[in-house]
Amino acid sequence: MKTKQHTLKKSVTVSGVGLHTGVPANMTFVPAKPNHGIKFKRIDLEGEPIVNADVDNVVDLSRGTTIEESGARINTVEHTLAALVGMEIDNVLIEIDGPEPPIMDGSSIKFIEAIESVGLEEQNVMRNFFEIPESVFYKESDRQVEIAALPLNDYRVTVMVDYNSPVLGSQHASMNDISQFPKEIASSRTFCFLHELEMLRKNNLIKGGNFHNAIVVVDRVVSDGELDELAHLFNLPKVEVKEEGILNNVELRHNNEPARHKLLDLVGDLALAGRPIKGQILAARPGHAANVAFAKKIKRMMQKNSKSENIPEYDPKMPSVLDINQISQVLPHGYPFRLIDKIIQLDEHSVTGVKNVTINEQFFQGHFPGNPVMPGVLQIEAMAQTGGVLLLNTVDNPEQYWTYFVGIDGCRFKKMVVPGDSLIIRCELLAPIRRGIAKMKGQAYVAGKLACEANVSACLVKKDI
């Protein structure tokens, strides 16, 4: 799995009709800044309202997942969201001039191909994974639906379906790594049973459905008269049934294509929880209603843990955004005042740095001999240097500038910092940078506990070169 956030290198557009509304739409994937998330924008409506891809915005589950916010509705979002998850895209603005994404061929593959045509751009911010902390279960006994999420340092999904049909029988599909999605899952098309077609039409659905964007499973004997009616319904000269029970002689792309499509839907619906997931998902007979109910359960778990998740985490196995050599190129500090070892997160508004404290620090020679404690003033200096990296990230040619620590307010020390500690320092802008001066909220943690905090100010001064 990708460790840093990604967006698209440039915009790309797909066009077509919506499956259920039948309304033509142009949908453009637009690159977005770090931590933007996935948002839809109805550019055909007054004010161009934004609809966040959020499970709490789900308003309808009639054969698809529909979200609504600020009076704007987006129908059938699951195939689009599945493609973004499968490509590990974190930040994108989806501009659409209609109420529903194009159904394309009934799968996610056309979205994948469009995204691949422009490529991805890595961003200097770590992905905000939600690691399933403990087993989570969802069950609907009347429909024999079960979904579980188990702890795992990866994202794996297994789906089992059983429609009590002699045509489909029991099927299962698995995705053991997210990298399998584009090739193994994305091309699997949506499907329905022949006996559902009339009901769907009566309920004002599948207006854009045809045999090019959906698989129709025939699970009973069909008369020639019914086939003629279907041909008229879909404006076709002729409709046929294959021996295996697939309408209009459509060739399956996979023997278990329906199960793979159910996995695709599940991946798309779970994207509405709002963060990339690390866990193993097991689902029996999933559908949009169960998927969304489970996504809500996952989101509530995220919110419950949100207080602790505001604390920056440091995983030494993860790659740094800036290593010590890259830091040295922008910060002029040298021994004994080089107090940041690596930057692990950096965007336009915040930065997180690491200071590994060892007994070999020069200040331990005289500061509380026999009881080494890192001086508070140096903790604040490390915080200022971390904030300096954020400030220098806002200008071109940062090596041409000095950063100066010019103010401090509300400083508090909460915990002693001693040799062996890793000091994780986060600085976040309190206001936009004006005239080269930045005001930041700084917090430093050890093992998840707040060690010190302060509001610090720093300024940029161009070197006299």
| Gap between the Cα atoms of 384 and 237, Å rounded | 74
* Residue 304 shares a structural domain with residue 328: no
* Residue 394 shares a structural domain with residue 453: yes
The residue written with tokens 């300096």 in the block is 388
- The region that residue 395 occupies, defined by phi over 0 for left and psi between -120 and 50 for alpha, beta otherwise, is beta
Q: What is the pLDDT of residues 91-121, one digit of tens each?
A: 999 999 999 999 999 999 999 999 999 999 9
The residue written with tokens 């169960």 in the block is 290
Identify the pLDDT of residue 264: 98
* Spatial CB neighbours of 281, under 8 Å, sequence gap ≥ 6: 147, 148, 149, 155, 156, 157, 158, 266, 270
Beta bridge partners of 454: 442
* Residue 394 shares a structural domain with residue 299: no
Residue 315 in domain: no
Residue 389 in domain: yes
Q: What is the CATH number of the domain that holds 99?
A: 3.30.230.20
Give me the domain span that covers residue 436. Answer: 324-462
Q: What is the mean pLDDT of residues 392-397?
A: 87
* Residue 328 shares a structural domain with residue 288: no
Coil, helix or strand at residue 199: helix
Inter-residue contact 195 to 220 (CB < 8 Å): yes
- Could you give the C-alpha distances from 287 to 53, 65, 453, in angstroms and in order? 18, 10, 47
* Residue 267 shares a structural domain with residue 334: no
Identify the pLDDT of residue 249: 54
User: In this structure, what token pair is assigned to residue 196?
Assistant: 């559902």
Q: Which residue has the higher pLDDT, 326 or 165?
A: 326
Identify the pLDDT of residue 221: 61
Using the 3D structure, point to which of 308, 340, 371 is the last residue of a domain.
308
Prediction pTM value: 0.78
Residue 214 in domain: no
Coil, helix or strand at residue 20: coil
pLDDT of 370 > 90? The answer is no
User: In this structure, what token pair is assigned to residue 11?
Assistant: 């915009």
Residue 200 in domain: no
Annotation marks residue 232 as catalytic: no
* Spatial CB neighbours of 343, under 8 Å, sequence gap ≥ 6: 320, 321, 322, 326, 327, 351, 352, 353, 354, 386, 389
* Residue 332 shares a structural domain with residue 300: no
Residue 102 in domain: yes
pLDDT of 147 > 70? The answer is yes
**Of the listed 36, 172, 333, 367, which one is catalytic?**
367
- The region that residue 194 occupies, defined by phi over 0 for left and psi between -120 and 50 for alpha, beta otherwise, is alpha
> Comparing 201-215, 311-325, 328-342, which segment has the lowest mean pLDDT?
201-215
Q: What is the mean pLDDT of residues 426-454?
A: 93
Q: How many domains does the chain have?
A: 2
Q: Mean pLDDT score of the chain, rounded to an integer? A: 89
Q: Where do the H-state alpha helices sit in 333-437?
A: 376-392
- Could you give the C-alpha distances from 246 to 102, 104, 200, 241, 460, in angstroms and in order? 23, 20, 18, 6, 68
* Spatial CB neighbours of 310, under 8 Å, sequence gap ≥ 6: none
Q: What is the mean pLDDT of residues 250-257?
A: 86
Residue 281 in domain: yes
* Residue 38 shares a structural domain with residue 171: yes
User: In this structure, what token pair is assigned to residue 412?
Assistant: 């508090």
**Of the listed 20, 195, 288, 349, which one is catalytic?**
288
Residue 136 in domain: yes
Q: What is the pLDDT of residues 121-143, one digit of tens each?
A: 999 888 889 999 999 999 999 98
The residue written with tokens 């995983």 in the block is 315
Q: What is the CATH number of the domain that holds 345?
A: 3.10.129.10
Residue 236 in domain: no
Q: How far is CA 372 from the centre of its chain?
A: 43
Using the 3D structure, point to which of 308, 343, 373 is the last residue of a domain.
308
Annotation marks residue 79 as catalytic: no
| Gap between the Cα atoms of 21 and 23, Å rounded | 5
Identify the pLDDT of residue 125: 83
pLDDT of 197 > 60? The answer is yes
Inter-residue contact 189 to 19 (CB < 8 Å): no
What secondary structure, in 3-state letters, does 127-186 show? CCCEECCCCEEEEEHHHCEEEEEECCCCEEEEEEEECCCCCCCEEEEEECCHHHHHHHHC
* Residue 35 shares a structural domain with residue 140: yes
| Gap between the Cα atoms of 79 and 268, Å rounded | 6
| Confidence class for position 209, pLDDT limits 50, 70, 90 | low
Q: Which amino acid is at 403?
A: T
* Residue 261 shares a structural domain with residue 408: no
* Terminal Cα distance for the chain, rounded: 44
* Residue 362 shares a structural domain with residue 303: no
Using the 3D structure, point to which of 308, 337, 367 is the last residue of a domain.
308
pLDDT of 235 > 80? The answer is no
Identify the pLDDT of residue 243: 53
| Gap between the Cα atoms of 165 and 170, Å rounded | 8
Identify the pLDDT of residue 19: 83
| Confidence class for position 247, pLDDT limits 50, 70, 90 | low
For residues 139, 144, 150, 153, the Cα torsion angle rounded to the nearest 10 degrees is -130
* Residue 287 shares a structural domain with residue 379: no
* Residue 19 shares a structural domain with residue 101: yes
197's enclosing H/E stretch is helix 194-202
Coil, helix or strand at residue 454: strand
